[in-house]
Structure 1
Amino acid sequence: MTLPFPFDNSYARLPDRFYARIAPTPVAQPSLVRINRPLATSLGLDADWLASDEGVAVLSGSQVPEGAEPLAMAYAGHQFGNFVPQLGDGRAVLLGEVVDRQGIRRDIQLKGSGPTPFSRRGDGRAALGPVLREYLVSEAMAALGIPTTRMLAAVMTGQPVYREAELPGAVLTRVASSHIRVGTFQFFAARGDAEGVRLLAEHVIARHYPHAAQAEHPIRAMLEAVIAAQARLVAHWLLVGFIHGVMNTDNMSIAGETIDYGPCAFMDAYNPATVFSSIDQGGRYAYGNQPRIAQWNLARLAETLLPLLDEDEPTAIKLAEESLNTFVPAFESAYHDGLRRKIGLSDGQPGDQDLVRALLAAMVENQVDFTLAFRRLADAVQGPDHDEPVRGLFLDPTAFDAWAVTWRQRLAQEPQSRQAIRAAMRATNPAYIPRNHRVEEALAAAVEHRDFAPFEALLAVVQHPFDDQPDNARYAEAPDPDSRVYQTFCGT
């Protein structure tokens, strides 16, 4: 008999102090909202079985499949700069791991599956709205080519959860390269458990960075691999206007994937100071602060590894600082290369960064929509007679005109044809993102009326972000003043 989930659970083979073994809590009346069929296929799973009554029972937490070893992972974390020595999976259960068709190990986790020993008096449940938000945004990020956790399924529980009001409950099935976080290392370091840190590092090397095992200093090589992955990830975020919203160390994946979407959002008008999260009162995790915070988080990871970097503490600190100093050049390389591509430049020349900075400064001053500006700029490559769609986004269109003179002089030095440059820009600059007002519309319809049609329509659009979709042009439009969303909320 073929098991529905061919589990091979490496994390469950680590010592018991790494987790709490806990089964998900059964729910009253589970019902399927959505199965991610392409993802199921890539994982080697039977999507039809997942959509069956038996499959939905598993996806809701009401039944534990054969081969699963359900557990809640232990971790700590800095939350808005304040260290909490024990957090852990308070509303999530890792069912186990499968190896997908590409030979990559993936976690299968239920989120919203009931209380665990780490729930800290919480109910361990999730509401439908945040579940659908994470589904929408994570699948959009995957379509944009940005490393992310993925959503295998969303299931309603048939029972309410209570936040500021009574809300329909739901369970999300999340797929990740792993759910190991910076905070996982912090959990053991805070307890003086050097052996725990070492075992975790060895697990991470074997699972995510096997090349590090061949390095002269494997722990340092692992640290630098995590730094490089996070530098690239945050550069990707900035290049599409994404704001994570809660970049706590317990929300930073060692695998370099976007995880724990919470109050995330995409910018409309470009401004580095943009904040959406209702709990980020001081703007710690504003759009423009994300690179600095990522490096700060990575410094916390490096602190946990000091005893493994060298027995001599001053030497270990020096090695850690040298590794952390690789973040800025790695981020800037990925970010500036991406910005060049966004304005149609294939290779770097002196003055390119100044050219991009001048455009971004004009966009801030003129309250220009980030996504629309770069998408429409691709058409302007064809000549000044195609400028109006992009220049019309500026409060003062002459600001674009002045910048475009220098831009076209620089484009003239590119070896590609104008058609090739335009095609490359359209493949780089999305037309469709999950705009906040559209997300809120879809969630409201689902939560208030159990109408999932707006959710399905928006999901279909953002899964093809670079395509022309004439019938869905309204999804590309910026919100009018009355429909702008200024604040997003954490699902807990």
Structure 2
Amino acid sequence: MTIHFPFQNSYSALPDSFFARVAPTPVAAPRLIKLNRPLALQLGLDPDLLETPEGAAILAGKTVPAGADPIAMAYAGHQFGQFVPQLGDGRAILLGEVIDKDGVRRDIQLKGSGPTPFSRRGDGRAALGPVLREYIVSEAMYALGIPTTRSLAAVVTGEHVIRETALPGAVLTRVASSHIRVGTFQFFAVRRDTEAIRQLADHVIARHYPDLRQAERPYHALLAAVVARQAELIARWLLVGFIHGVMNTDNSSISGETIDYGPCAFMDSYNPGQVFSSIDEMGRYAYANQPRIGLWNLTRLAECLLPLFSDEQEKAVAEAQDILGAFSDQFSAAYQAGLRKKVGLFTERDGDEALIEDLLDAMAKNQADFTLTFRKLGEAAGDDAADVRAQFMEPAAFDEWAGRWRARIALEPQTAAERQAAMHAVNPMFIPRNHRVEAVIQAAVNDDDYAPFEELVKVLARPFEDQPDYAAYADPPLPDQRVLQTFCGT
């Protein structure tokens, strides 16, 4: 039996300095935990074959399929503001690329597949917990409509990895539009390899921004396009209460997808300063800091592209600054438009921003649950405000705001039912609550029980539907269930 992957590899055709050729390290006894069958079909793969032992061997890196050209990609990066000139794929190997059913080129990468020349004394492996977390959260983000890498499969390896203790080993098969990062450009910029930067930029334009090939100044247009996508992406993060947790430049995707789900988390109670990542001791990547850090990362990309802009340094810098200057307005436009939808406003009027900001302030002061407050606000559009009031420690704080909100929505012609439907279409009922994710991980790691994982993935695939049978998954954590820190998992 042959499992066919229709590889059409392009990144591995770039110069050798872009990557290291390295095969996955075989594992002892791969066993499939979960295959994303709809995604497999989208990629032109046979899910029935992938669910066989032979398929599990491929998804664990024990067997390399025909046509693969395994590589570990080279990149650098600023990690918490400190530049590291060589990082690279230390525990991930890109098997190759396929063209999916929509004609989109997609990377297929194994994460946790063994050491590479970039492992920096690491074992190149992944523990089961982080693999399950990335599978759960990345697929939840996809269901929420947020650009993201995706998870094709999770496999246990039959081996243990040593972290603070011995843990079950696992491999995640990750799918992305590409794995090219801001840090990929930085890798060549720090080496003053302008020709490699040009080759990389040309590759990115051809792959992600083909309309720019005919632009008068394609590299300027490339920076502008990446700025626009990042502004939109980060606005979408904030609109669902998502905190990436480790927004290093090596975790900032050129394609505009969310990538590298390490210590990520969704807020429960609304708090603009919320931090979950155990390694973010200074709150650099706190919830409300994400737009500022996004622009900081884009500025690092602009620095890499300066040699392609002009031979005159001052001119190149001025042109880059002009492009970067669009970020704030682009982010604000996307964020404010999203907030108006969340509170059921179909038009834009003076005072809307202040009205919404007052709601957010009241939510922060009253420790209101971010997700449920907006979801239940849709019901309040039909005069049933009991559930949304219950989110506030002092319900009177909502009542004061609600009077002004009702006066504002009365200026629009939509019915309460139409408004509620529109609000429910953008305000999810279900997110990957941290305590739910941790419970799933503990069941799998401690008891080899994947039923909770399967059920959580099932619920999160329909985040905007009420799903009465699974209503408990919408509940915030009890005080003793709260997860205060998340961990990178490396």
Which of 383, 401, 423 is the aligned partner of 1:425?
423
The equivalent residue for 2:366 is 366
Q: Secondary structure at the match of 1:159?
A: strand
- Would you say the 8 A contact 2:26–2:61 is kept in 1? yes
Q: Which runs of 5+ in 1 are unaligned?
A: none
Is residue 391 of structure 1 aligned with residue 389 of structure 2?
Answer: yes
* 1:276-319 deviations in Å (ceiling 9; x for gaps): 00000000000000000000000000000001011111000000
**Residues of 2 paired with 1:348 and 1:37: CA distance?**
42
Aligned residue number for residue 243 of structure 2: 243
How far, CA to CA, are the matches of 1:358 and 1:211 in structure 2? 41
Whole-Å separation in 2 of the counterparts to 1:442 and 1:57: 24
Q: CA deviation at 1:215?
A: 1.3
User: Distance in 1 between the 2:160 and 2:79 partners?
Assistant: 28
Residue 56 (structure 1) aligns with: 56
Scaled by the length of structure 2, the TM-score of the pair is 0.99
Of 331-340 and 206-215, deviating more is 206-215
Distance of aligned partners of 1:351 and 1:78 in 2 relative to their CA distance in 1, 3 Å threshold: same
Measure, in 2, the Cα distance between the counterparts of 1:253 and 1:344.
Answer: 32
Q: Describe how 1:202-217 pairs up with structure 2 within 5 A.
A: 202-217=202-217
| CA–CA distance in structure 2, aligned partners of residues 237 and 425 of structure 1 | 17
Q: Which amino acid aligns with 1:475?
A: Y
2-structure distance, mates of 1:133, 1:419: 36
Classify the secondary structure of the residue corresponding to 1:96.
Answer: strand
Q: Are the counterparts in 1 of residues 157 and 170 from structure 2 also a CA contact under 8 Å?
A: yes
**1:50-129 equivalence runs, <5 A:** 50-129=50-129
Q: 1:132 and 1:237 mapped to 2: Cα distance?
A: 21
What is the number of equivalent residue pairs in this alignment?
Answer: 490
Structure 1 residues 440-492: Cα deviation after superposition (integer angstroms, max 9, x where no partner)? 00000000100001111111111100001111111000111111000000110
Contact conserved, 1:205 with 1:213, CA < 8 A, in 2? yes
8 Å CA contact 1:4–1:49 kept in 2: the answer is no
The corresponding residue for 1:457 is 455
DSSP 3-state at the match of 1:414: coil
Counterparts of 1:324 and 1:97, CA distance in 2: 31
- Corresponding residue number in structure 2 for 1:46: 46
The CA deviation string for residues 228-279 of structure 1, in whole angstroms up to 9 with x for no partner, is: 0000000000000000000000000000000000000000000100000000
Tell me the distance in 1 between the aligned counterparts of 2:413 and 2:336: 20
> Partner amino acid for 2:421?
A
Contact 2:3–2:55 under 8 Å retained in 1: no
Give the drift of 1:413: 1.1
Give 1:173 shift. Answer: 0.2
1:216: Cα distance to partner? 1.1
Match of 2:405 among 396, 407, 410: 407
Q: Specify the alignment match of 2:200 in structure 1.
A: 200
In structure 2, runs of 5+ residues without a counterpart are none
Q: Which amino acid aligns with 1:339?
A: L
Query: How far did residue 2 of structure 1 move?
Result: 8.1
Q: Counterpart of 2:130?
A: 130
TM-score by length of 1: 0.99
Q: How far apart, CA to CA, are the structure 2 residues paired with 1:70 and 1:228? A: 32
CA positional deviation for 1:415: 2.2
RMSD: 0.8
Partner of 2:485: 487
Q: How many percent identity over aligned positions? A: 66
What is the aligned partner in structure 2 of residue 263 from structure 1? 263
- Provide runs of 4+ in structure 1 moved above 3 Å: none
Say if 2:3 and 2:50, in contact at 8 Å, map to a contact too: no
Q: Which residue is equivalent to 2:445? A: 447
Q: Distance in 1 between matches of 2:3 and 2:221?
A: 37
**Residue type of the partner of 2:63?**
Q
Please give the secondary structure, in 2, of the residue aligned with 1:421.
helix
Q: Is the 8 A contact 2:3 2:49 kept in 1?
A: no
The separation in 1 between residues aligned to 2:52 and 2:194, in whole angstroms, is 46
Distance in 1, matches of 2:170 and 2:310, equals 47
Equivalent residue for 1:468, pick from 444, 466, 469: 466
SS of 1:428's partner is: coil
The letter for the 2-side match of 1:123 is D
Shift of 1:346: 1.1
Indicate conservation of the 8 Å contact 1:253/1:259, yes or no. Answer: yes
